[in-house]
Amino acid sequence: MEAPAENFFTPVVPLDFVYNYRVGPYIERYLRGFKDKKILGSKCPGCGKVVVPARMYCGPCNRRMEELVEVSQEGSLENYTIGHVILEKGAIKPAKGPYMLGLINLDGTDSLLLGRVEGVSVAAAKPGLRVKAVWKEELDGDFKDLDHFEPV
Amino acid sequence: MRNVGIIGIGYTPVFVSKRKDVNIAEMISEAVEDCFANTGLGPDDIDAMVFGNMHTFEGVNMPHLWAADYIASLGKPVMRIATGGTTGMSAIHAAYYHIASGLHDVVMVVCFEKQSEGDSQVGLMGIVTPEIMAMLQAGIDISGSSGMGALAGGSAGAISFQASSYLARSGAGIEHIDGMAALERRNAAKNPYAHLKDANATAESVARTALISYPIRFGHICPTSDGATVAILASEEKAAELADGAAWIHGLANCASDASAGNILEGVITDPAEQMPCQLAAKQAFERAGIKDPKKEIDCVEIYNGFAHQTLMFLEKLGMCEVGEAHKLLDAGELEINGRCPVNASGGVVSTNAIGTSAMNRVTECALQILGQAGEHQVEKDVHKALSHGWGGLMQYVTITVLADKPRKG
Ligand SMILES: [Zn+2]
């Protein structure tokens, strides 16, 4: 049989997928902390490690973490990348300029927090660089309240 | 193959419409903790994990990976199973294969659904629409599943053809669907993990609910539930070491028909009430379990019934009674919790439907009946062998598990 080349069927599926994910009590309190410019982590009763954002379980210990602790707003940049494109409604577009995304180990914690990093040149970026949290002017109790990190 | 037994079961404290107080991972962890508390076992006792939830409904397809901390699976072999409505029983089957093969000794199954965080009808349509469009392009008969799109109410729209055909074939009336739904709502009232409970439900009270799509009324339809279920399965040797008792898997099978949800296996006229896969899977599972007459040898049944007519229809397809006889058993009171053929003592899927757990709960509820741990909804007669049934796919996929109170010989 001759192989067909051109026939497509393109159904349009008229559905809106709406998801409403409950954040649970830990992220609820984490975001409430943002309103007071506080960063909350949870502390494992087994290994004593502190993870940010606050969460219920310590996997390695299989223990519930009941204790929430306020952690430092300063830490070290452990890993980074520099973006040159952005995603807009699923399409890749050029960014206005290069921007840095970092994984930050806040002092006294045992986890990495993702954040935008400003005020660091590509040449100056290196693991171990000391950074601090910078908050938005108006705080809504939203993830976006913690605007970015900048060098100490 | 090695014997495999269910040695522990855990549930979330409740199955309800909306768990607003916890996120997905936190909710699942409650069932894991409950299972560990019930068995005295811990993460170190578990060799491998099987995880299950429905496609699309909350849009999360890899929770077994990102919720690892919450299901005690860090560093362990883990796989997700998603076969549609049957997911939970397919997950039990996967755990069975893990152990029967000799690969692992103790396997934990974790299934959940948090339906309140997505839109179940949109989720269902999100699966069905691309599926039937692709089937159409492959020249496959879509008459079975197309009802979901053609009629209002998603699966309720599609299921009305099945219910209508069942009534015509069996001689049962819509009042029997009412009566079946009422029986299960009353059973649910005895089960702390059931969602829709009504201790005073009667065929008359169900008959007063609105018709959705003839012959299906509102009172015949399952709810959408949030909840999670966990089970621990073990080899015979490990079960003796770790547990006081077990419900043993004697036979299992699964089967799908053509996508018309009909009877291409049998003939040419599409009849969604034919459910040949159920008849074939049950036959195979009974053979494996050494059961010659299920009517005599099976003590209680848990049927996957998103809609109340399915309890009656599948009793016939499973061989628990003759064709056209199920509604007579209902009339005679034999399907009640104290009857000769107790069915869905838990309240069934029609009362509780956190989909990923729904087919799994048919197995865990049979296991609880065998272990004598079902509490207020424990059936009156002694349970030596129990039959659990899962249904779903494109309305043409069936899973069967036969459980017993002693390990299988030979
Ligand atoms: Zn720990």
Cα B300 to Cα B369: distance, rounded to the nearest angstrom: 8
Cα B89 to Cα B393: distance, rounded to the nearest angstrom: 12
**Angle at the Cα of B191 (from B381 to B180), degrees rounded to 5?**
70
Q: Is A127 on the interface with B (CB under 8 A)?
A: no
Q: What separation in Å is there between the alpha carbon of A78 and the centre of ligand 1? A: 22
- B57 pLDDT band (50/70/90 cuts)? confident
Q: Which residues of chain A fall short of a pLDDT of 70?
A: none
Asked if residue B271 lies in contact with residue B263, where contact means CB atoms within 8 angstroms, the answer is yes
Q: Is the pLDDT of residue B150 over 60?
A: no
- B148 pLDDT band (50/70/90 cuts)? low
Q: Is the pLDDT of residue B143 over 70?
A: no
Separation in Å, CA of B383 to nearest CA in chain A: 36
Mean pLDDT value across residues B129-138: 77
Across-strand partners of B389? Answer: B400
**Contact yes or no for A23 and B23 at CB 8 A:** yes
Q: What is the pLDDT of residue B260?
A: 61
Identify the three-state secondary structure at position A15. Answer: coil
Closest to B148 (Cα-Cα) out of B394, B407, B400? B394
Sheet holding B106-114, edge to edge: B78-81, B48-52, B106-114, B226-235, B4-11, B247-256, B397-404, B385-392, B300-302
With CA atoms as reference, the chain A residue closest to B68 would be A59
Encoded tokens for A123: 């040449």
Amino acid at B347: G
Encoded tokens for B386: 């129990």
Asked if residue B263 lies in contact with residue B352, where contact means CB atoms within 8 angstroms, the answer is no
Q: What separation in Å is there between the alpha carbon of B22 and the centre of ligand 1? A: 21
Q: What is the pLDDT of residue B59?
A: 87
Amino acid at B67: A
Residue A93's H or E segment, with its range, is strand A91-106
pLDDT in tens, A26-47: 999 999 999 999 999 999 999 9
Amino acid at B324: G
Q: Is the pLDDT of residue B151 over 60?
A: no
Range name among B60-69, B87-96, B397-406 with the lowest pLDDT average: B60-69
> Is residue B82 one of the residues assigned to a domain?
yes
Encoded tokens for B138: 């492959």
Q: Is the pLDDT of residue B347 over 70?
A: yes
pLDDT in tens, B81-128: 999 999 999 999 999 999 999 999 999 999 999 999 988 777 877 777
Mean pLDDT value across residues B272-286: 92
**DSSP letters for B191-255:** -TT-SS--TT--HHHHHTSPEEETTEEGGGB----EEEEEEEEEEHHHHHHH-S--EEEEEEEEE
**Contact yes or no for B122 and A17 at CB 8 A:** yes
> Is residue B94 one of the residues assigned to a domain?
yes
Residue A82's H or E segment, with its range, is strand A74-88
Mean pLDDT value across residues B221-229: 96
Tell me phi and psi for residue B393, to 5 degrees.
Answer: 60, -135
* CATH number (domain holding residue B46): 3.40.47.10
**Contact yes or no for A20 and B136 at CB 8 A:** no
Separation in Å, CA of B134 to nearest CA in chain A: 9
Quote the domain boundaries for residue B55.
Answer: 4-118+223-402
Q: Is the pLDDT of residue B225 over 90?
A: yes
Instruction: Provide the domain count of chain B.
Output: 1
> Is residue B161 one of the residues assigned to a domain?
no
- B394 pLDDT band (50/70/90 cuts)? confident
Of A16, A26, A55, Cβ closest to residue B122: A16
Q: Is the pLDDT of residue B188 over 80?
A: yes
pLDDT > 70: what percent of chain B?
92
> Is residue B237 one of the residues assigned to a domain?
yes
Selected residues 23-82 of chain A with any CB under 8 Å from a CB in chain B: 23-27, 55-60, 62, 64
> Is residue B195 one of the residues assigned to a domain?
no
> Interface of chain B against chain A, CB under 8 Å?
19-26, 29, 42-43, 58-59, 68-70, 72, 74, 114, 116-119, 122-123, 125-126, 129-130, 133, 136-137
Q: What is the 3-state secondary structure (H, E, C) of A19-74?
A: CCCCCHHHHHHHHHHHHCCCEEEEECCCCCCEECCCCCEECCCCEECCEEEEECCE
Please list every residue in chain B whose beta carbon sits closer than 8 Å to the beta carbon of residue A17.
Answer: 59, 118-119, 122-123, 126
Closest to B305 (Cα-Cα) out of B167, B161, B165, B180? B180
For chains A and B, CB pairs below 8 A equal 74
> Is residue B258 one of the residues assigned to a domain?
yes
Q: What residue has token string 């829709």?
A: B196
- B156 pLDDT band (50/70/90 cuts)? low
Q: Is the pLDDT of residue B339 over 80?
A: yes
Q: What is the pLDDT of residue B321?
A: 97
Handedness of CA B202, B204, B210, B216 (dihedral sign): positive
Q: What separation in Å is there between the alpha carbon of A34 and the centre of ligand 1? A: 25
> Is residue B100 one of the residues assigned to a domain?
yes
State the average pLDDT for chain B.
92
Q: What is the pLDDT of residue B154?
A: 55
**DSSP letters for B276-305:** HHHHHHHHHHHHHHT-S-HHHH--EEE---
Mean pLDDT value across residues B206-227: 95
Residue B127's H or E segment, with its range, is helix B120-137
Q: What separation in Å is there between the alpha carbon of A38 and the centre of ligand 1? A: 23
> Is residue B114 one of the residues assigned to a domain?
yes
**Contact yes or no for B72 and A62 at CB 8 A:** yes
Cα A87 to Cα B145: distance, rounded to the nearest angstrom: 37
Q: What separation in Å is there between the alpha carbon of A55 and the centre of ligand 1? A: 12
